[in-house]
Amino acid sequence: MREDIEFTAEDGVTLRGWHYSPDGGDGPAPLVVMAHGFSATKEMYLDDFAEHFAAGGLGVLVYDNRNLGASDGTPRGELDPWQQIRDYRTAITWALTQPWTDPARIGVWGSSYSGGHVLVVAALDRRVACVVSQVPLVSGLANARRLIRADAFAGLRQMFDGDRAARYAGQDPAMIQVVWEKEPDEPCALPTTDSHDFFLGPILERATTWRNEVTLRSVEMFTEYEPGAYIGQIAPTPLMVVVAAQDHLTVADLTLEYFERARHPKELVVLPAGHFDAYVGDGFARSAPAQLRFLQQHLT
């Protein structure tokens, strides 16, 4: 059963989402806390994962990151990774006040940008009993240099500096497209073809609150963000990392390099697919059961 929920972050911003009760559950149950990746909203297939986990006996808390979707917060489209990490931890704190949560059995799940967040959350917050990180960002700068040509990256840094000066003068934050709409060379945050096809494809029929823009400052914060630096500090909390071998967005070889730095207990799932294939079709059919097994093993 799914119900709408909302909770208040420490700074007063209201975050909204869903709580899934586990099938056959009665009383406090294990809980998986989930949020989506860069600019994405919960309707972008997180409900499919949540339903799968709930059918396997796990409660699930899914919410939209602040400034996106159903959640409050301004400026809209502002993606501050460290604020999103703090909100994950607030979500855990709020869940602990609810009668449906077993406080000893809380897992965190993230994908892409939030796949990096949960690495940090699991390293810092010992309330977390296990963590699943799907196609995660592990190094913002290294990943950005893979996605953006060197000459274009220099121009992007000039845009960051101009936006910083404009904000200091009292202007609103500059905005940038998440994905290109007409031509592949349009400035955007996620310049891969599969990003374009995912965000502007059939998913828009489900994710009606998604907007194809974020603040330029969000991209600057992306390049400054190094969640993989925390991966060696997660143990002894069990870690599962899901890698898409043909991932061109959060590139697979970087993720595999950082996975080697993690300590046991850890588990690796490699999908013969691209970044967004992890959410649908054969990618989902292969990874979701493995993730459920891992969560059941460590939460039930």
> Taking the domains of the chain in order of start, what are their residue ranges?
2-140+226-299
Residue 209 and residue 41 in contact, taking contact as beta carbons nearer than 8 Å: yes
Query: Which among 68, 5, 65, 10 has a CA at the least distance from the CA of 31?
Result: 5
- Type of residue numbered 251: V
What is the rounded CA–CA span in Å between residue 188 and residue 175? 10
Distances (CA, A) of 107 to 96, 220, 296: 12, 29, 10
Helix 150-168 to helix 140-147 angle (10° resolution) is: 120
Query: Are 212 and 103 spatial neighbours (Cβ–Cβ below 8 Å)?
Result: no
Q: Mapping DSSP to helix (H, G, I), strand (E, B) and coil, where does residue 49 land? A: helix
Helix (H, G, I), strand (E, B) or coil at 187: coil
Q: How far apart are CA 44 and CA 62, in angstroms?
A: 12
Does residue 244 sit in helix, strand or coil? Answer: strand
The widest CA-to-CA distance across the chain, in whole angstroms, is: 58
Please answer whether residues 4 and 16 qualify as being in contact, where contact means their C-beta atoms are separated by less than 8 angstroms.
Answer: yes
Under DSSP, is residue 96 helix (H, G, I), strand (E, B) or coil? coil
Give 266: exposed, middle or buried? Use CB within 10 Å, 0-12, 13-18, 19+: middle
CA distance 294 to 53: 11
Query: What pLDDT does residue 26 have?
Result: 76
pLDDT at 25: 72
Pairing mode of beta strands 14-20, 2-8:
antiparallel
Please choose, from the candidates 53, 58, 115, 126, the residue with its C-alpha nearest in 3D space to the C-alpha of residue 89: 126
pLDDT tens sequence for the chain (300 residues): 999 999 999 999 999 999 999 987 778 999 999 999 999 999 999 999 999 999 999 999 999 999 999 999 999 999 999 999 999 999 999 999 999 999 999 999 999 999 999 999 999 999 999 999 999 999 999 999 999 888 888 999 999 999 999 999 999 999 999 999 999 999 999 999 999 999 999 999 999 999 999 999 999 999 999 999 999 999 999 999 999 999 999 999 999 999 999 999 999 999 999 999 999 999 999 999 999 999 999 999
Distances in Å between the alpha carbon of 226 and those of 68, 102, 183?
Answer: 22, 31, 30
The CATH number of the domain covering residues in 2-140+226-299:
3.40.50.1820
pTM score, two decimals?
0.97
Q: What is the pLDDT of residue 151?
A: 86
Question: Checking DSSP bridges between strand 214-215 and strand 239-244, what pairing results, if any?
Answer: unpaired
SS3 39: coil
Closest C-alpha to 131, from 300, 295, 270, 258: 295
- Residues 19, 58: contact at Cβ < 8 Å? no
97 burial type by CB count under 10 A (0-12 exposed, 13-18 middle, 19+ buried)? exposed
DSSP 149: -
